[in-house]
Amino acid sequence: MVDKALGGAGLRGQVAGQTALCTVGQSGSGLTYYGYDISELAAVAEFEEVAYLLAHGELPNAGQLAEYKARLKQLRKLPQALKDVLERIPASAHPMDVMRTGCSMLGNLETEADFGEADQHIERMLALFPAIVVYWYRFSHDGVRVETDTDDDSIGAHFLHMLHDKKPSPLHEKVMHASLILYAEHEFNASTFTARVCASTLSDIHSCVTGAIGSLRGPLHGGANEAAMELIETMQNPDEAEQTLLGMLERKEKIMGFGHAVYREKDPRNAIIKQWSEKLAAEFGDSRLYDVSVRCEEVMWREKKLFCNADFFHASAYHFMGIPTKLFTPIFVMSRVTGWTAHVKEQRANNRIIRPSADYTGPAPRPVPPIAER
Ligand SMILES: CC(=O)SCCNC(=O)CCNC(=O)[C@H](O)C(C)(C)COP(=O)(O)OP(=O)(O)OC[C@H]1O[C@@H](n2cnc3c(N)ncnc32)[C@H](O)[C@@H]1OP(=O)(O)O
Ligand SMILES: O=C([O-])CC(=O)C(=O)O
C-alpha cells in the first residue's frame, strides 16, 4: 500500500517485504530492534550485546556475551593477502572504497561456500572491518603497519586503539558503544535493501555486504555524517552558522544530516548522540562545533521543520574523539554490517527473488533503421 502523505517516488511508503528485526517510526518517532527500544539499548548495553541480538534474535546472557566477545577477539588478525591489497590502495582513496574492496577481497580469500557457514563469515566481517580500514589508513597516511590483533574488550575500543596507538578512555569507549548501537539496524533503508536484493538472487554474503557498502557511501545515506562535518567545520560561531544555513536554504541546497525518508518529527537517535557530543565537547575543552551544531538544529527546525537525523551530531562527536572525518562513514559500516547480515539471513529464510516492475516511458515500438540512415 502507498502512503499518500509520502508519495510513491523512491518506493516511499510502500511495503517491500517483511522483517522481524526492527521497527522505524511506528509510533511516529520510535526505533526498536527485536522489540527493544534503542534508547534503552544505547543506555545500558554494549554494542556486542546488540550485535548478538541481531545475529541470534535474543540478547545474550553474561556467559554467551563473554564467549561471543572472545570469539570476535580471536578473529582480528588480517590475512597477509588482504594486507597486501590494502597496502596497494593509495592514500587519496576514499575509505569507503577501501571498505568495499576489503570486504570483496575477504570474500575471495574466505568464500562462503554454503549458507550454513553464514554466521562464521558474519563474525569474521564484524571482527575485521575496523582492522581493514585502520590498517589501510595508518599504512597509507603514516607509513605504519598497525598491529590488528589487539586485546581490547570491544570493537569500538579496538578501532580507537589501532587508530591512535593507545587504548581509549572509558568515556570514548562508552560513546563508541552507543554510536555503534544507534547505527546497527534500520529496517529497509537503501543499503539494507541493496543487501536484501543481492541475497534474493542467492548470492554469497560478501557480495551482499559489498553492495551494501556501495549504497551506504552516498551523501544522501551514510555519507551524510562526513558531509555534515565538512559543513560545520567552516562555521566559526553560531551566528555565522545561522547565516550560512539561511543562504543555503535560499539557494535550495541540501543540508546533510537533516531530514529523513521515514521519520516525520524527529530521529530518535539524534537526542542520544547529541548528549554524547555535548559531554565530549566539555572534555575536549572547545565547544565551538557543538554550539554551531545546536544553532544549525534550531535554524533548520524554525525555517523548514527539518530535524537532525542520526548523522548530524555524530559529526562533532567523532571529531571530538580525534577521528579523521573521512573515517566517519566506515564506522557506520562496522556497525551496520550486523543489520545487513541479519537481513540477508532473514531474506534467505523465506526467499523469492526481488524483481519489481517498471512503468515504461520510452518510445513506441519502431523498426531498426539501417546504419547508413541513422
Ligand atoms: C543514517 C541515514 O542515512 S539518515 C539520512 C542521511 N542523509 C542526509 O542527511 C542527507 C540530507 N537529507 C536528505 O537528502 C533527505 O532528507 C533524505 C534523503 C534523508 C530523505 O529524502 P526524502 O524522503 O525525499 O525527503 P522528504 O520527502 O522528506 O523531503 C521533503 C522536502 O524537504 C526537502 N529536504 C529534505 N531534506 C532536506 C535537507 N537535508 N536539506 C534541505 N532540504 C531538505 C526536500 O528537498 C523536499 O523538498 P521539495 O518538496 O521542495 O522537493
Ligand atoms: O532509514 C533510512 O532511510 C536511513 C537511515 O536512517 C539509516 O539507514 O539508518
Ligand closest to CA 219: 1
Compute the distance between CA of residue 311 and CA of residue 348 in angstroms, rounded to an integer.
30
Q: Render 166-229 in DSSP notation, one character per residue.
A: SPPPHHHHHHHHHHHHHHS--TT-HHHHHHHHHHHTT--HHHHHHHHHHHHTSTTTTTHHHHHH
pLDDT tens by residue, 178-198? 999 999 999 999 999 999 999
Q: Is the Cβ atom of 269 under 6 angstroms away from ligand 2? A: no
**Within 13 Å of residue 128, how many CA atoms lie on the same side as its CB?**
26
Q: Is the pLDDT of residue 6 over 60?
A: no
189 alpha carbon – ligand 2 mean position (Å): 5
Residue-level pLDDT at 369: 98
The rounded Å distance from CA 183 to ligand 1 centre is 19
pLDDT of 8: 72
The Cα 225–Cα 167 span in angstroms is: 24
C-beta 310 within 6 A of ligand 2: yes
Bridge partners of residue 32, in order along the sequence: 23, 37
Nearest atom (ligand 2) to Cα of 309:
6
- Asked if the model's pLDDT at residue 27 lies above 80, the reply is no
**pLDDT at res. 28:** 57
Q: How far apart are CA 308 and CA 313, in angstroms?
A: 8
Determine the distance separating the centroid of ligand 1 and the alpha carbon of 23, expressed in angstroms: 20
Contact between residue 127 and residue 102 where contact means Cβ atoms under 8 Å apart: no
Ligand 2 pocket, mutate which of 19, 262, 334 (most atoms under 8 A from CB): 262
Q: How far apart are CA 240 and CA 284, in angstroms?
A: 22
Whether pLDDT at 2 is above 50: no
Mean pLDDT of 133-158: 97
Q: Which residues contact 329 (CB under 8 A, 6 or more apart)?
A: 95, 96, 216, 217, 222, 223, 225, 226
pLDDT > 70? residue 302: yes
ipTM associated with this complex: 0.98
Q: What pLDDT is attached to residue 26?
A: 84
In the block, which residue shows the cell 574523539?
A: 321
pLDDT at 13: 86
Cβ–Cβ contacts within 10 Å for residue 72, how many? 20
The per-residue DSSP string of 276-332 comes to: HHHHHHHHHT--HHHHHHHHHHHHHHHHH---B-TTHHHHHHHHHTT--GGGHHHHH
Q: In a 3-state reduction of DSSP, which class is residue 148?
A: coil
Q: Which three cell numbers stand for residue 149?
A: 590483533
Cell of 327: 573515517
Cβ–ligand 2 distance for 31 under 6 Å, the answer no
Give bridge partners of residue 230 from the DSSP assignment.
none
Question: What is the arithmetic mean of pLDDT over 136-142?
Answer: 98
Contact 291, 238 (CB under 8 A): yes
Which helix (DSSP H) or strand (DSSP E) does residue 142 occupy? helix 118-142
The residues with which 22 forms a beta bridge, in sequence order, are 33
36-37: strand order across its sheet: 22-24, 31-33, 36-37
Looking at ligand 2, which atom is closest to the CA of residue 187?
1
Provide the annotated active-site residues: 221, 260, 311
Which has more confidence, 1 or 238? 238
From CA 66, how far away is CA 147, in angstroms rounded? 23
The answer on pLDDT for 4 being more than 90 is no
Q: What is the pTM of this model?
A: 0.96
